[in-house]
Amino acid sequence: MSTVQYRLQNMVPGPAGGAAPTVMYESEDGILQCYGTTVPTDADTGYAPSCHFQKIDATTLDTVLYVNISSKASCDFDAAVMAS
């Protein structure tokens, strides 16, 4: 069994998303990927430039992915609107 197959077979799902973002990946540069039901407020800190936030409450399906277009010191998440 390859390493990839082993890891996929033994994956544990993450917790359900809530109002506070759940961090999936973080580096010294800040949070790189997270998810939840509430998009981080502009000027929140700790989110790396280009951080992806996945909004999982699915109230509007064309705005479920957001990208931080600002800095770690002051985030600004904009929706990546999907073309239909």
CB 69 within 8 A of CB 80: no
* SS3 annotation, 31-75: EEEEEECCCCCCCCCCEEEEEEEEECCCCCCCCCEEEECCCCCCC
Quick check: is 24 in a domain? yes
The residue range of the domain holding 26 is 14-79
CB atoms within 10 A of CB 47: 29
Within-domain flag for 34: yes
pLDDT digits (tens, 9 = 90+) for 57-74: 867 777 889 999 999 999
Q: What does the chain come to in residues? A: 84
User: In angstroms, how far is CA 74 from the centroid of its own chain?
Assistant: 16
Convert the pLDDT of each residue in 23-45 to its tens digit. 999 999 999 999 999 999 999 99
The answer as to whether 54 is a domain residue is: yes
Residue 44: inside a domain: yes
Q: What is the pTM of this model?
A: 0.79
Residue 65 lies in a domain: yes
Q: Is residue 64 part of a domain?
A: yes
pLDDT of residue 13: 74
Report yes or no on 39 lying in a domain: yes
Q: What is the DSSP letter of 20?
A: S
Residue 53 in domain? yes
Domain count, the chain: 1
